[in-house]
């Protein structure tokens, strides 16, 4: 306001407003529609004078405004209320307000906001009265903007939240979208990508950002520009043309609680050295502009810093192409035109002010561009900054959006080092995990000419791996790893089985019938007029057959024909079977059923007892103090035993382990130190979201011993009832149902992801860093279909494992325990092949090179049972003969070709193998039923054979195959023989 106005200077207004700062906040339009004590006052007129505050409103609103009297009195201001009675036009009150204005000074000037057009009868009447009063008016927008430009802590916090939102929208969505478009060379329109970005900003939950959706809005439609058509003004719009793979400018703005933030970045595809130098200078100039915005410095210092930096970098041409300003103040307004960062604005920078520092140049030319669209380009770098008090450097709120050259430059062409720095990318699963399994062209330019060299290096790595694998196998077998391996199972000895301690313990009736004593767990059978007890574990099975009016009960006992009476009881007889005839058919059926049920229950109990005896004692759970992270409403697999409907439970993360609790009172503890691998699989293309634990030592879940425990939630019903009626794809009910399912899926994924992150960061990394525990996420992009348990499954790799976690039984293969891999039935005409994992422990029933696993390929299936048996019989001879190199099909083929060449010089009667014998030996290399493809084996002559001739030929081939040994064992023996081994099953004689 000017001198003689209602309040002559902005400082007086600041005192009054500051005294009631907790009660008054301005809306985003910066109009004088005020929010007081939580109520919106739209039909209210406030008049500020030098010493008074006049308020005109309805009776209820004036009662609320009366609460500000004490705050106004503390600031030396008198509060005057002018209540407007209902059903009156307020003319009387308006005249009172005009009288107060006239009495405030000799020549009063009323400050107004001419750009604001308030609606309503009372405001319109007030403006008309002011216009007809003859009083002078002045535009107070600039003064009011200067007054409100410094932000308090709460306002600055809202600006930072908006900056956090827009930075994540750029890095987590816009940049990956651009990278996919660049890598796959898609044709996408600028406007379409901008619309997608706007949807993400409006819904922070899509980026897993916890901001209130009601408080979030876009500051302006996102701008995506390329192809020579650039307009760096925020008021411009994204074109409907396709994105050009040259220079792409992306600008995003967001609001949180009405406060704005802005960020802009420039991305280059196959840039030139000139563009790299220009961008480096522009980036330093923008950083200099940010550094110049310190408290007390003039706002023009930012523009001057940009010009000086560009000239110092030798980019005088960029100075002439700079925009008119290098930014503006930002806050409730996206652009405060009264506080621009240009050469003419000498207003001082105040602590708490927020700026959008945007340094851009346009109209640049690239002479070596391949197309006209790539010749003209522009560059823009913008950030939201918050000024600090005491001359401290300002804080960049959008620092999450990277702007270094290596983060914004992309290379697609096969250029040399003169164009870009070549960074070799190896097929490392861990490296792929670090970049999120995303293909990117950013700076990691692949030299395609070096691929042959890479393949040669991989072959050398495979040779080195072979030496290590052979040595590891020899060390394992030499330490006794080949011995047994089965171990002595925990069970009950025959001497431990006892029905009764003495005859007096027998409780039975006097009936000489077959009876079951459940308490003693035995069966009583009549023999020679006496009831003789047999423990239920001595009975193998019981059966009941009916023949006319009689039923026959047959009991078979655990008897081995090779058993001989011991020396202690040479006259003892071994009982094998007993049969009884009964006239009571019902009794016979009942007693047989009881025997079967009792035997099943006792065996199940003993099995559980034996399994529990082999368990490793776990530590006790220490419950967490304070806040405990929980994952509610999850099912467990394998499930607890018992009847009744299964219910969901809660998984809690405590100090040293997890505890799962069901509403039935069942509990299961999983200690962190017993977890070997942890997996998190979101519900992407799956019906469930899950966390899975593969354990070091098995635990009991219910009555079952298991090494895998899983907790999951279904994102939608796996079974749906289908009626006969048809539903249209535009059916509102179906669309709403799909929307609910999509929201439920996203909600469950967020819930699981939050639980996993908290456990990972707050517990495992902080307290159990020595265990290197980490939730691994399967890489669906690298998954493949297989049959690990004779059922079709989708197997996915993780950093350390191959897993299938959706269907039971689960598959978890630890790659660190694999010695080598053999790929069988590999051929150009086959779409499927077999993958055999050979463990480092032989007693256990292509990223492979990058994770240091030796692998081979073959066209046949091998008999691994006989191969492993031969290896364990003579481990030293196996290593001397080349070890696992016998699996090398290429080497085998070269040796066979060498043998054929030598046989050409041998006499015809040298007693060599005939062609039939040779074909028989080749056929024996494969497992039964596996040969070369029938399409490859057919000749031109066989094409004319009839069915009878074909059947005779097939029978002859079957006879030849029947005389050969198992394929895998014979190939292994033949391989060792070609290496110089002797006879006797292929073993090499010792010296």
- pLDDT of residue 416 exceeding 50, the answer is no
Does the pLDDT of residue 890 top 60, yes or no? no
Q: H helices within 435-583, ranges in order?
A: 451-476
Q: Is 785 left (phi over 0), alpha (psi -120 to 50) or beta?
A: beta
Angle between helices 889-903 and 967-978 (to 10 degrees): 60
Beta strands 409-410; 657-661: pairing state = unpaired
Residues 828-881 pLDDT 10s: 666 677 777 777 665 554 445 555 566 666 666 677 777 777 777 777 777 777
Residue 142 has pLDDT above 80, yes or no: no
Q: pLDDT digits over 487-500, tens only?
A: 344 455 555 677 78
Specify the fold of 793-887.
PH-domain like (2.30.29)
d(CA 735, CA 661): 37
Closest CA to 827 of 975, 936, 961: 936
In the chain, which segments carry CATH 3.90.230.10?
153-410
The pTM of the full predicted model, rounded to 2 decimals, is 0.44
Tell whether omega for the bond before 634 is within 30 degrees of 0, i.e. cis: no
Structure tokens at 783: 């998954």
Which band of pLDDT confidence, cut at 50, 70 and 90, is reported for residue 527?
A: confident
If one compares 7 and 49, the residue with the highest pLDDT of the two is 49
What digits encode the pLDDT tens for the residues 8-20? 333 334 333 333 3
**Residue 254 and residue 397: Cα distance in Å, rounded?**
13
Least confident of 48-62, 187-201, 666-680: 48-62
Least confident of 101-110, 387-396, 425-434, 683-692: 425-434
Predicted confidence (pLDDT) per residue in 548-570, tens digit? 888 888 998 886 554 455 555 66
Pairing verdict, β 784-786 and 688-701: unpaired
> What does pLDDT average to over the chain?
75
Backbone angles phi, psi at 629, to 5 degrees: -75, 130
Q: Which CATH number fits domain 153-410: 3.20.20.140, 3.40.50.10680, 3.90.230.10, 3.20.20.70?
A: 3.90.230.10
> Of all residues in the chain, what percent carry a pLDDT higher than 70?
70
What confidence category does residue 29 fall into, taking pLDDT thresholds of 50, 70 and 90?
A: very low
**pLDDT-derived band of residue 279, with 50, 70 and 90 as boundaries?**
very high
To the question of domain 629-718+735-777 being in CATH 2.30.29.150, the answer is: yes
Q: What is the pLDDT of residues 293-333, one digit of tens each?
A: 999 999 999 999 999 999 999 999 899 999 999 999 999 88
| pLDDT, average across residues 120-139 | 83
Matching CATH number, 12-149, of 3.40.50.300, 3.30.1120.10, 3.90.25.10, 3.40.350.10: 3.40.350.10
pLDDT score recorded for residue 25: 26
Cite the residue boundaries of each domain of the chain with CATH code 2.30.29.150.
629-718+735-777
Quick one: average pLDDT of 5-32? Answer: 31
* pLDDT confidence band for 5 (50 / 70 / 90): very low
Give CA–CA dist 603/608, Å, rounded: 9
Those residues whose C-beta lies under 8 Å from the C-beta of residue 296, and which sit 6 or more positions away, are 348, 349, 391
pLDDT digits (tens, 9 = 90+) for 916-963: 443 433 433 344 443 333 333 333 333 455 556 666 777 766 655 544
Residues in CB range of 891: below 8 A, 6 or more apart: 885
Chain region(s) in the chain for CATH 3.40.350.10: 12-149
Q: What is the pLDDT of residue 659?
A: 92
**Architecture of the structural domain at 513-614:** Roll (2.30)
pLDDT, residue 772, reads 84
Q: Determine the pLDDT at residue 476.
A: 63
Pinpoint the residues of the chain covered by CATH 2.30.29.30. Answer: 793-887
Residue 20: predicted pLDDT: 31
Mean pLDDT of 731-755: 85
pLDDT at residue 946, as a whole number: 59
């Amino acid at each position: 306001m000017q001198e003689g106005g209602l309040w002559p200077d902005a400082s007086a207004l600041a005192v009054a407003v500051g005294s009631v700062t907790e009660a008054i906040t301005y809306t985003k339009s910066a109009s004088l529609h005020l929010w007081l004590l939580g109520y919106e006052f739209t039909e209210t007129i406030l008049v500020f004078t030098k010493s008074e505050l006049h308020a005109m409103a309805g009776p209820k609103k004036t009662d609320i405004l009366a609460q500000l009297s004490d705050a106004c009195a503390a600031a030396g201001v008198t509060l005057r209320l002018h209540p407007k009675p209902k059903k009156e036009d307020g003319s009387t009150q308006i005249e009172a307000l005009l009288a107060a204005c006239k009495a405030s000074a000799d020549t009063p000037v009323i400050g107004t906001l001419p750009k604001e057009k308030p609606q309503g009868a009372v405001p319109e009447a007030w403006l008309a009265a002011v216009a007809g009063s003859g009083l002078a008016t002045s535009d107070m927008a600039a003064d009011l903007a200067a007054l409100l430009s410094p932000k308090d802590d709460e306002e600055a916090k809202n600006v930072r939240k908006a900056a956090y939102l827009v930075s994540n929208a750029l890095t987590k969505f816009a940049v990956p979208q651009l990278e996919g478009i660049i890598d796959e060379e898609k044709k996408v329109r600028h406007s379409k990508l901008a619309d997608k970005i706007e949807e993400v900003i409006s819904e922070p939950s899509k980026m897993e950002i916890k901001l209130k959706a009601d408080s979030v809005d876009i500051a302006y439609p996102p701008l995506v520009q390329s192809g020579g058509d650039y307009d760096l003004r925020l008021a411009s719009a994204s074109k409907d043309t396709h994105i050009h793979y040259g220079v792409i400018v992306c600008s995003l703005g967001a609001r949180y609680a009405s406060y704005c933030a802005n960020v802009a970045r420039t991305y280059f595809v196959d840039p030139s050295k000139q563009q790299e130098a220009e961008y480096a200078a522009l980036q330093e100039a923008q950083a200099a502009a940010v550094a110049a915005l310190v408290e007390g410095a003039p706002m023009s210092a930012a523009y001057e810093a940009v010009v000086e930096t560009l000239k110092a970098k030798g980019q005088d041409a960029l100075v002439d192409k700079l925009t008119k300003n290098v930014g503006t103040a930002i806050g409730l307004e996206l652009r405060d035109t009264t506080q621009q960062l240009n050469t003419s604005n000498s207003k001082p920078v105040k602590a708490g002010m927020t700026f959008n520092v945007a340094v851009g140049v346009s109209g640049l030319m690239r002479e070596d561009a391949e197309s006209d669209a790539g010749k003209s380009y522009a560059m823009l770098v913008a950030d939201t900054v918050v000024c600090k008090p005491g001359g401290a450097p300002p804080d960049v709120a959008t620092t999450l959006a990277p702007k270094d050259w290596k983060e914004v430059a992309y290379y697609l062409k096969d250029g040399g080092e003169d164009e870009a720095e070549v960074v070799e990318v190896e097929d490392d699963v861990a490296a792929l995990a670090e970049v999120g399994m995303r293909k990117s062209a950013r700076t990691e330019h692949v030299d395609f000419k070096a691929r042959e060299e890479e393949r040669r290096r991989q072959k050398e790595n495979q040779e080195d791996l072979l030496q290590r694998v052979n040595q590891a196998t020899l060390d394992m077998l030499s330490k006794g790893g080949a011995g047994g391996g089965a171990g002595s199972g925990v069970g009950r000895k025959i001497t431990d089985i006892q029905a009764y301690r003495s005859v007096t313990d027998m409780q039975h009736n006097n009936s000489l019938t077959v009876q079951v004593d459940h308490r003693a767990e035995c069966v009583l059978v009549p023999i020679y007029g006496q009831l003789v007890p047999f423990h239920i574990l001595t009975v193998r099975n019981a059966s009941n057959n009916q023949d006319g009016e009689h039923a026959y009960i047959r009991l078979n006992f655990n008897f081995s024909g090779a058993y001989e009476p011991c020396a202690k009881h040479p006259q003892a007889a071994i009982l094998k079977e007993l049969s009884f005839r009964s006239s009571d058919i019902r009794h016979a059926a009942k007693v047989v059923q009881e025997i079967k049920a009792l035997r099943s229950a006792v065996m199940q109990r003993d099995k559980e007892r034996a399994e529990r005896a082999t368990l490793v004692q776990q530590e006790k759970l220490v419950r967490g103090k304070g806040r405990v992270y929980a994952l509610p409403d999850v099912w467990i697999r394998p499930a607890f035993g018992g009847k009744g409907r299964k219910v969901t439970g809660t998984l809690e993360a405590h100090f040293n382990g997890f505890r799962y609790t069901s509403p039935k009172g069942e509990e299961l503890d999983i200690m962190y130190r017993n977890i070997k691998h942890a997996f998190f699989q979101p519900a992407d293309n799956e019906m469930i979201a899950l966390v899975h634990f593969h354990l070091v030592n098995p635990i009991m879940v219910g009555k079952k011993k298991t090494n895998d425990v899983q907790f999951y939630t279904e994102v939608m019903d796996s079974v749906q009832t289908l009626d006969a009626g048809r539903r249209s794809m535009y059916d509102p009910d179906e669309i709403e149902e799909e929307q609910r399912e999509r929201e439920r899926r996203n909600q469950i994924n967020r819930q699981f992801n939050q639980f996993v992150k908290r456990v990972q960061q707050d517990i495992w990394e902080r307290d159990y860093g020595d265990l290197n525990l980490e939730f691994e996420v399967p890489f669906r992009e690298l998954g493949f279909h297989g049959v690990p348990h004779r059922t079709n499954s989708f197997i996915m790799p993780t950093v350390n494992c191959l897993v299938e976690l959706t269907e039971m039984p689960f598959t978890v293969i630890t790659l660190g325990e694999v010695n080598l891999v053999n790929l069988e039935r590999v051929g150009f005409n086959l779409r499927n092949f077999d993958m055999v994992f050979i463990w480092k422990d032989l007693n256990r029933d292509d990223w492979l090179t990058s994770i240091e696993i030796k692998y081979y390929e073959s066209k046949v299936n091998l008999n691994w049972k006989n191969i492993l048996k031969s290896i364990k019989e003579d481990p030293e001879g196996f290593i001397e003969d080349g070890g696992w190199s016998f699996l090398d099909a290429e080497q085998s083929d070269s040796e066979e070709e060498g043998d054929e060449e030598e046989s050409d010089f041998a006499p015809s009667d040298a007693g060599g193998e005939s062609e039939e014998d040779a074909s028989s030996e080749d056929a024996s290399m494969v497992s039964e039923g596996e040969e070369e493809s029938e399409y490859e084996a057919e000749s031109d002559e066989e094409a004319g054979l009839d069915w009878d001739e074909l059947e005779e030929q097939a029978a002859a081939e079957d006879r030849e195959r029947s005389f050969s040994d198992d394929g895998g064992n014979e190939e292994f023996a033949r391989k060792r023989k070609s290496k110089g081994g002797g006879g006797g099953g292929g073993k090499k004689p010792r010296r």
